[in-house]
Structure 1
Amino acid sequence: MPSLRLMQTTFIVLVGFAGVSQGLTLPLLAILLEQQGVSSIANGVNAAAMYIGVMLVSPFLERLLQRLGYRGAIILGLILLISTTVLIPLSSGLVVWFFLRLFMGSGDSLLHYNTQLWLTAIAPPEKRGRMLSIYGLAYGVGFSIGPLGINLLPLGLWVPFVLVSILYTSSFFLLSRLKNVFPEPMGQQQEGQNRFAYVFRYGWLALIPSFLYGYMESSLNGSFPIFGLRIGLSMETVSILLPSFVLGALILQMPLGAWSDKVGRKKIMMSCAVIGGIAFILFPLAQGSLWMMLMLLVIAGAVVGSFYSLGMAYAADILPSYMVPAVGVIVGVNFSAGSIIAPNLNGVLLGVSPGLMFTVMGLLLLAFAIAGIFFRVAAPHATRKKEEQAAQTQSI
């Protein structure tokens, strides 16, 4: 059995590469389509294709995991990602890129779903927040580096995409060091749609952060380049501003994970939602100052950039362990739903007033903070979960 450190390192590198790919592909294609004269609405629909792919593959994730195992499912995702990344610069047009991004989203979902569940399964309960925050930190580092690949365009359209493909290909060596592991089989009483209803009923608050994170990520990387160009920013300035949200997340990613282990994830998420919501609402007022825009994006990223991992950790805290795979499916669907809604809604908002997209993001975060006031963990789950965590801690 590989050591916990080796497995965590492998997952960190994998998700870091995935971050580079998404951080580059989303804004790069948005800019290329904008330069071709494609409308903001059509551009948004094309950007949503990746997340439609995430949603389409979500119903099959659990079955693929049961059949292929963690490593096998991750390898399948890598194959889809490499093939679509290579084909993007060899083709052009809305329709072709739409379908390529569908497959890219499916591959990305396979990679993230299985690495997250594998890490959640091996993480000790008292270190879960910290370990998932490191996972999120790795994604953030990759995501912040990705947009810099826009500056490689003068060397050829194919250069940034080939670089990403090389990174993905090197992942096969890392995975070869891990033994394939299969999750615990589901009992008959655990199968069926009742598991998803159970998760929605008792863990609904923990599912919202994934939607919000998908909405914010897609807005900033799919719609922000269009916003920047329309208010007169250069492509180089956009490539500098884009990583600022993720760089902000890097500042507090690990501290927030550690604090959430001690203080409680719900309190941390609610506090961060308020601060992030205010930062986004103030952003339209800072359009005349590059430094103010940079500062507000850094603040917003610092407090809400770890929402996805914190929400996943919170769900694992309050729900039985055999429900976690179902949580992973719902979280993936919610993330893709937010990511699909954002570019399409922003396409309309950009036509009305560019700053409205940030106001809406801020209001959504404030609404989440208010919803947290009314959420209470059901006593049976809290008791059962404490017993599971105590037993797991004693076995470590």
Structure 2
Amino acid sequence: MSASPLSEPTTTARIPREIWVLIASAFVIALGFGLILPVLPQFAQSFGVGATASSIVVSAFAFFRLLFAPVGGRLIARMGERPIYLAGLLIVAVSTGATAFAQTYWQLLVFRGLGGIGSVMFTVSAVALIVRLAPPTIRARVSSVYASAFLFGGILGPVVGGLLGNLGLRVPFLVYAVALVLAAALVGVFLSGASLRPAEGHREMPVMTVREGWRDSAYRASIGSAFANGWANFGVRNAILPLFAAVVIGKQPWVAGTALAVFAAGNAVGLTVAGRMSDRVGRRPFIIGGLLVSGVATAVTGFATDLTTLVVLSVVAGVGAGTLNPAQQASLADVVGRDRNGGPALAAFQMSSDTGAIIGPVLAGLLIDNGSYPLAFGVTGLITLLAVIPWLRARETHDVRHGARFDAAKRPADPTESESTVAEGTREA
């Protein structure tokens, strides 16, 4: 019996061409999405509603993502990720274009919410393809590069969106719709033949169910951290931070855009470090550290009284979130493995994040309307810190000694089994 790595060494493994196509598309999508972040809450309030109602617009998008996630996972397994990815982009493009012409708050709510259907389609499709194609020894690096594309677009997008907002609150939505069409064209032209379905004549890949994943302590912990991350960074930060910046600093759209952009910049720093290091030393240290840093910085954000303090706290929170994301994504990929169809399990992970993104802004809005901004951000930070607890008992999914992950299908069902026994899963006769 001799040790045999399951994949290429980290120094020789390369990112597949299909993933580079998704990375380029991610940048275009994030650039467009960043355009509307600074103006969406103010656009909602232009119809005469308060903080709670404007936050519900953000939550509605996540709510439709949540509802459609199980259907999206089944469609991907049946039809392949490429057609579902393209359909999702076009659905969000139409929804965003319609949002620009909303004449009432309820039209805005419906048009923006329906875009969540397309969003979950292209999000889960991209994650499923990355899980299948990424070499195991560079999973965190692949997740880091992919997320960095979103963040670089996120850094530029809010700044440009804040400037475009000066031309009218509807303009960024029209530009975002065009960006989505461009992303669909990019994928349609350069990503061909990639599918979760095996080639004709090959056996069907077994499906990893949510119940099967739930038996794994790392999967359970990832569900909890996804919920907290969705609550804090996809929900409250996008919905509440622009309103907080307008109240404390100034109502100009560029103020909110700056706060969101520096968060994305800090995120990029965290991604760069964690993306490479977690492939070498393991996933858990970066997940736990990222949750702690992000949680503390978020909890004290509500006490910022000037732009400098808000910028510093946003950068620190961004570093924490950036440290968390690639390690968490890689750990999830370790659990699913390359030889299984992880659609249902990945959809459940996405649903957990979306649930947090739904509940977080609504509760934060209620806390603001009936309490204060410090209370809203304090509760959000606490939720993030609580997500650390499951990870303290979760297993490490990456076998750093051999530079390869041990296949989820080969590890023992009991996560508490000794490490020496688990390591045997990486050996071949």
Task: Give the structure-2-normalised TM-score.
Answer: 0.82
Instruction: String of CA shifts for 1:247-305, please: whole Å, max 9, x gaps.
Output: 100112121111111111111111222222222233233x2232122111101101213
Offset, 1:14: 1.5
My pick for the range that moved more, 71-80 or 266-275, is: 266-275
**Equivalent residue, structure 2, for 1:394:** none
8 Å contact kept, 2:300–2:374: no
Secondary structure of the 1:218 match is helix
* 2: CA distance, partners of 1:5 / 1:330: 26
- Cα distance in 1, alignment partners of residues 205 and 260 from structure 2: 46
Distance 1:374 1:385, change over 3 A: closer
5 Å-filtered alignment, 1:249-288, equals 249-285=267-303, 287-288=304-305
Distance 1:224 1:157 in 2: 17
Q: 1:319 offset after TM fit, Å?
A: 4.3
What is the distance in 2 between the residues matched to 1:34 and 1:114? 34
SS at match of 1:38: coil
Mapped to 2, the partners of 1:135 and 1:174 lie a distance apart of 16
Cα distance in 1 for partners of 2:309, 2:427 equals: 47
Change (3 A) 1:43 1:230: same
CA contact (8 A) 2:367 2:373 kept: yes
Relative distance call for 1:390 and 1:316 in structure 2 (3 A) is farther
Partner of 2:174: 162
Which of 300, 323, 333 is 2:317 aligned to?
A: 300
Match of 2:257 in 1: 239
Task: State the partner residue of 2:407.
Answer: none
1:204 & 1:86 partners in 2: Cα distance? 38
Which of 364, 368, 372 in structure 1 is aligned with 2:391?
Answer: 372
Ranges in structure 2 where 5+ consecutive residues have no aligned partner? 1-13, 398-410
| Mapped partners of 1:45, 1:200: distance in 2 | 30
Q: Is the 8 A contact 1:10 1:174 kept in 2?
A: yes
Structure 1 residue 169, shift from structure 2 partner: 1.9
Q: CA deviation at 1:18?
A: 2.2
The 2-side partners of 1:66 and 1:284 are apart by: 43
1:341 equivalenced with 2:341 (yes/no): no
Whole-angstrom CA distance in 1 between matches of 2:343 and 2:230 = 19
- Deviation at 1:355? 1.1
Aligned equivalents of 1:126 and 1:390: distance in 2? Answer: 16
The alignment status of 1:199 with 2:210, answered yes or no, reads no
SS at 1:305 equivalent: helix
Residue in 2 that maps onto 1:23: 34
- Counterpart Cα distance in 2 of 1:280 and 1:156: 30
2:327 counterpart letter in structure 1: L
Q: Pick from 326, 330, 338 the counterpart of residue 348 of structure 2.
A: 330
Tell me the number of residue pairs that the alignment of Structure 1 and Structure 2 aligns. 386
Q: 1: distance between equivalents of 2:180 and 2:424?
A: 40
Of the structure 1 ranges 93-102 and 376-385, higher mean CA displacement relative to structure 2 is found in 376-385
Correspondence for 1:130 among 118, 121, 141: 141
Q: Would you tell me which structure has more helix in proportion to its own residues?
A: 1
CA contact (8 A) 1:137 1:250 kept: yes
8 Å Cα contact 1:23/1:221 also seen in 2: no
Residue identity opposite 2:382 in structure 1: L
CA 312–187 in structure 1, closer or farther in 2 if over 3 Å, else same:
farther
Residues 1:158 and 1:282: Cα distance change in structure 2 (over 3 Å): closer
Superposition pairs of residues 36-115 of structure 1, within 5 angstroms: 36-115=47-126
Q: Which is further off, 313-322 or 257-266?
A: 313-322
Which residue is 1:317 aligned to? Answer: 334
* Aligned partners of 2:292 and 2:320 also within 8 Å: no
